[in-house]
Amino acid sequence: MKVREGGRVLNTHVLVATGVNADGHREILGLDICSAESEAGWLTLFRGLNARGLSGVKLVTSDAHSGLVAALGATLEGATWQRCRTHYAANLMAICPKHAWPGVKAMLHSVYDQPDAKAVHAQFDKLLDTVADKLPQVHDHLEEARADILAFTAFPKEIWRQIWSNNPQERLNREIRRRTDVVGIFPDRTSAIRLIGAVLAEQHDDWIEGRRYLGLEVLARSRMALINTTETTMQKEDLTPAALTA
């Protein structure tokens, strides 16, 4: 957003966080404006959310902005990070030879089309084997991102489409842009927050009064799946709960 400050027109960044509450409804969690989309900016937003009582976050879906990811690790302890599949595909395309991209893209999409978590990981292994010799850079990129782009597999399949990308957030961003484009340049940050906050307040009310984004039954199973995953990891690494806490 363009904002006047000190007699100059500056580009500022609007940071918005949304979430799904314990009742399965989506919420607007917070809004902030900063000079740059940096770790410091995201830290300010997340620390503000924590101060207002945000807790129990199990999964965060976002793009791979380094400042955002670092801020998540510093403020939302215990939350798993899901790298948005849409943003990741764009990142992978940037380092893949143009002639090879259609085939790589098709195989990457096939990973997400599998019926269960075991099949997802098996298909991902097949993708790695396919590109290992001819496209080593693509192979390394995929291997490095594996845990982050497949984090959704720890949750029930019924909600994979809701959690493996932040496309819903992008739709909200487009609505914000539609409502703010008519302004052009805001006279100050406060006026920008006032207008964007009004847009978000409308969306928040619609979400809370509308149908659940995630059902209560699948939310309960999601929590159990995470507990079982943690217990399995502890057994594999021969750790006790006390050792983990320490």
Average model confidence (pLDDT) across the chain: 90
pLDDT of residue 241: 38
Go through 129-152 and write b for each residue having 16 or more CB atoms within 10 A of its CB, e for each that does not.
eebeeebeebbebbeeeeeebbbb
Which whole-number Å values give the CA distances from 63 to 68, 82, 87, 114, 137, in the listed order?
Answer: 8, 8, 6, 23, 20
Q: What is the pTM of this model?
A: 0.84
Q: Which amino acid is at 2?
A: K
CA–CA dist 138, 141 (Å, integer): 5
Q: For the purposes of burial, counting CB atoms within 10 Å of the CB of 6, is it exposed (0-12), middle (13-18) or buried (19 or more)?
A: exposed
Task: Using the predicted structure, report yes or no on whether residue 243 has a pLDDT greater than 90.
Answer: no
The pLDDT value recorded for residue 202 is: 95
Q: Please tell me the predicted confidence (pLDDT) of residue 225.
A: 74
Q: 35 CB contacts (<8 Å, ≥6 apart)?
A: 10, 12, 13, 41
At residue 86 the predicted structure's pLDDT band, cuts being 50, 70 and 90, is very high
**In angstroms, rounded to a whole number, what is the distance separating the alpha carbons of residues 208 and 28?**
10
159-207 pLDDT, tens digit per residue, is 999 999 998 888 899 999 999 999 999 999 999 999 999 999 999 999 9
Residue 193, Cα to own-chain centre: how many angstroms? 23
How distant, in Å, are the alpha carbons of 31, 124, 171 from that of 195? Answer: 12, 44, 17
pLDDT of residue 51: 95
Which three-class secondary structure state does DSSP give residue 184?
coil
Condensed to tens digits (0 to 9), the pLDDT of residues 27-80 reads 999 999 998 888 999 999 999 999 999 998 999 999 998 899 999 989 998 899
